[in-house]
Structure formats: C-alpha cells, structure tokens
Structure 1
Amino acid sequence: MTIALQAKGLTKEFKGFIAVNNVDLSVKKGTIHALIGPNGAGKTTCFNLLTKFLQPTRGQITYEGRDITRMKPSEIARLGMVRSFQISAIFPDLTVLQNVRVALQRARGESYDFWRSDRVLSKFDDQAREYIAEVGLSDLTDERAASLPYGRKRALEIATTLALSPDMLLLDEPMAGMGREDVERISQLIRRIAENRTVLMVEHNLSVVAELSDHITVLARGEILAEGTYEQISKAPEVIEAYIGASHD
C-alpha cells in the first residue's frame, strides 16, 4: 500500500533529555493507525512532531512523498493533513452550523469575517450541513456549541476538521473524558470517516484501539517497542511488560 505519512530517524531532545529517539514510522494510506504506549512513552511528543507543533532535533518527515520536516501546521493543513486536539477546540458561543461555517470560510482562504451578514455567509450553509450530517449532529444544527454534551462537542470538532477537506486526519486522544455511550458513538464516527481518509490517532483506550486500528505502533521511553495488529502486539511480551510495569509506577 502507498505510504501517506513517514518519519525516519525522528528524534526530539529537550535540554539533554531525549523524549523521542530515532523513531521510524510509516502510516499507510487508507488505514487507521494507532500510536499507543504507557504514560511517559513519548506519544504526545511524537504526535506533535508529526503534526508540526514541534520541530525535531533530527530526522525527516514526509507526507505523500513531500518533505514536510520544517513546515508549519498551517502549511501541512493546506496539503490535506489536519489534526484535532485532546481538548475540544470550538467556538462555544457560536451554533453548530456557525462553527462549521467558520471552518469552511477559512478553508477557502477567506477571512473569518464574523461581522459579515448572514446573507453573505449563508453560501456556506449547505456544505456545512453536509459535514454536520456526516458526524450525526443534524438535529443540533442551531444549538450553541457550549450547550452540547461533551461527546457531541468532540463530534462537532471533527466536523470542523472535516470542513478543511483533509485527506489525512490526526486525532489526539479522541475518546478522552468520554462515557461509554459517547465512546461508541465517536468510534462509529471515526470508522465512517476513515472509509475514504487516512487516520492516525493517539489513544489510551485499548478497547477502542483494538476495535478500530488496522496497524498499531507501541512507544516506550521514546522508542518504538513493537508494531503490528492488535492481536500481534497484545501478545508481545515486551508490550505486556511495559504496560504492567506502568501500572505499578
């Protein structure tokens, strides 16, 4: 399969501390790839390097064969590689429709222009409603984002991310803070949107990882400990030891 995102020798040092050490990672196009590991494994640092919110000390990152190592997040977003955040990043005082409409405005190179009339901005409404329907929020289109339950806020964030027309979606702990019902809903959503996109996610919920992932990379102490399907990595002695050890820290 074609490689969508690849890292070679990815390393990040912080004043002598090596948080990510010589990581080689390949995410195949059209798959759901999970990045997991015990606390302190370097997952977040690695994810921030891949999404360009940190610059590596050494190594190279390519997306669709293009070197993006020194690019900014806004630049890779324009290439079709967009991330969401662990903490929901939406405008709480805007409605669901308005939030997605803002993302559509920005994706088309227009300013946010909050002061423009609804008549002018309404040209984005039909497409915004399509993304809202895709994440299952059609019945909440006119609700203020602040009034939504937590799981629905995360769905709205994914809708605004989809409005940027990504070919690859990078999700930072999409299930963080969710109850079982919301986890099931967002899991179904991720599976649905991954039908025609590549997804890389950092996730602590191993049940979700087992259900959704085509391929898994396990990090420990900033290095790759194991890779493979969930069945493969769940039986690896070094992975079992890393997680059991972490539970006794």
Structure 2
Amino acid sequence: MTDIILQARNLSKNFGGFKAVNEVSLDVARGSVHALIGPNGAGKTTTFNLLTRFLDATSGTIRLDGKDITRRHPADVAMDGMVRSFQISATFPHLTLIENVRIALQRREGGTFRFWRPITRSEALNDEAEQLLADVGLADRAGRLASSLSYGRKRALEIATTLALRPKLLLLDEPTSGMGIEDIAPITALINRLRGPMTVLMVEHNLSVVAELSDRITVLSRGEVLAEGNYAEVSTDPDVTRAYMGE
C-alpha cells in the first residue's frame, strides 16, 4: 500500500449558498510531487486553504500522517510539519534576503525570535541561509533588501524561507507565478530535488512545469475532482479538455 502523508475525505466548503469546494477527496503519497490544477475558479486555492487550516471546512476530514488535523490551528499544523507558501509573497521588505531567511531559521528552533540575542548567534546561521538562497537562485542578491526584488524573485525568497522550516510536507501555491524563464528553471530544479526527502503539493498554472515535475495530478473543476492520474492520463482526458477549452 502506498504511504499516504496527506489525506482529505469528502472535503467541502460553503460560502452562504455557494459551494466553493464539493466533496473533494485527495491522497498525497509521501515523497511525491502532487499537483492540483484546474481552470480559473475551480476551487484550487480554497482547497489549499482548507488543507492548511486557513479556512474551516463545512464538512469532511483532513489527516496528516494519520493524525486528524481537521480542526487544528494553522500554526499547530505548521509545527506538525506541513508548511505552505502563498500566492501573494510574504517577506520582510526592509530586511535583506539573508536576514529574511535567518528569521525563518530562528523560528525553526521554536519559541520567540529572540531579536535581542548577540548578532554573532544569527551570523552562525549564515551558511545555511546562503545555501537556501543559492537553492532558489538568489545567492548573488543575499545582501539586498527584499523590497528591491521583482515579484517573481520575491516568490523565490518566500520559498527559501519556507524551506528553512524543514517541512515534511511543503504546499506551494503558484510557485512560478510572475517569474521569468530565467527564474523558473532553478525553482523547478529545486522542487525536483525535494522529491523523496520531502513531499510537495502544489497549485500551478504553468502546465509545462506540472508535466515536468508531477508524479500525480488532481484536476478540479467547479469545486469538484474532475480527474486524477499522471500527466499523460489527465492531459488526454476529454472532460479535462472541455474544462480548460470549452466545447
């Protein structure tokens, strides 16, 4: 039996009379890259927010490593090992890139950020911070302010800070959104390297990235699971074609 790290069963979310997510079930295999795709308005981000507990489900269950997390606080879920990025980049704009990553590395130790401790303690984290920046293609910008980055490179910085927490399950919401071709390559290479030691669940519109990286793909349409399988299977599914292209 496949080792499942994240399992959702009959997950639904209603906003008044509108059902944004309807009876979605999902199994994410440990060590895999699993993509969640679909046309605009398919319910992908809402599903992401339900899985990471930023939204409460109307019904259904979510289990992480066999543990029911359906009603747990998002911060507790992150401490359990499931960490996410967001569509809108969240960085400290007036700190340098390496300072942003060092803060995430300090948070991994638990407790408060302890800004008052000697600077030499933070500098001890520099080697790991520099490696994380290199992993996302930002090594040559370590001393720059985060506010100086383009949108796409802020996304790369956010991925570096997310990885600093060493999650066992990493959820990426549109990881290549806003990136130029030169920025996409190091991010896709990084996600490919994470497969195995880490599990990745991503929402991604760039289907060439999905095709290159994904072990399994779940297609949503109008809040429901439309199809699931590998890229060859879902890309030739007539229902998927209709959802993306119309009749």
Class of the TM-score when normalised by the shorter of the 2 chains:
over 0.9
| Residue deviations 1:64-85 (CA, integer Å, cap 9, x gap) | 1110100111111111110001
The corresponding residue for 1:112 is: 113
The corresponding residue for 2:136 is: 135
Give the superposition deviation at 1:195.
Answer: 4.2
Letter in 2 for 1:228: G
The corresponding residue for 2:207 is: 206
Give the superposition deviation at 1:177.
Answer: 1.6
The corresponding residue for 1:12 is: 13
Using the TM superposition, name which of 108-117 and 229-238 deviates more: 108-117
Letter in 1 for 2:218: T
- List runs of 5+ in structure 1 lacking aligned partners: none
Using the TM superposition, name which of 81-90 and 117-126 deviates more: 117-126
The corresponding residue for 1:73 is: 74
The 8 Å contact of residues 137 and 186 in structure 2, kept in 1 or not, is answered as no
CA distance in 1, matches of 2:168, 2:234: 27
The corresponding residue for 2:24 is: 23
Give the superposition deviation at 1:116.
Answer: 4.3
The corresponding residue for 2:219 is: 218
- Aligned runs of 1:60-99 on 2, under 5 Å? 60-99=61-100
Structure-1-length-normalised TM-score: 0.93
CA distance in 1, matches of 2:121, 2:233: 54
| Residue deviations 1:39-93 (CA, integer Å, cap 9, x gap) | 1111111111011110101100001111010011111111111000111111111
Letter in 2 for 1:239: V
SS in 2 for 1:8: strand
CA distance in 2, matches of 1:243, 1:230: 15
The corresponding residue for 2:104 is: 103
CA distance in 2, matches of 1:114, 1:87: 26
- Aligned runs of 1:177-216 on 2, under 5 Å? 177-216=178-217
Establish whether residue 147 from structure 1 lines up as the match of residue 145 from structure 2: no
SS in 1 for 2:125: helix
CA distance in 2, matches of 1:24, 1:207: 25
Give the superposition deviation at 1:107.
Answer: 1.5
CA distance in 2, matches of 1:185, 1:119: 31
Give the superposition deviation at 1:196.
Answer: 1.6
Give the superposition deviation at 1:7.
Answer: 0.2
The 8 Å contact of residues 151 and 186 in structure 1, kept in 2 or not, is answered as no
Using the TM superposition, name which of 193-202 and 157-166 deviates more: 193-202
Structure-2-length-normalised TM-score: 0.94
> Number of residue pairs matched?
246
The corresponding residue for 1:126 is: 127
Establish whether residue 241 from structure 1 lines up as the match of residue 242 from structure 2: yes
Using the TM superposition, name which of 139-148 and 67-76 deviates more: 139-148
Using the TM superposition, name which of 20-29 and 182-191 deviates more: 182-191
SS in 1 for 2:28: strand
Percent identity between matched residues is 60
- List runs of 5+ in structure 2 lacking aligned partners: none
SS in 2 for 1:13: strand
Kindly report the root-mean-square deviation, in angstroms, between the aligned alpha carbons of the 2 structures: 1.6
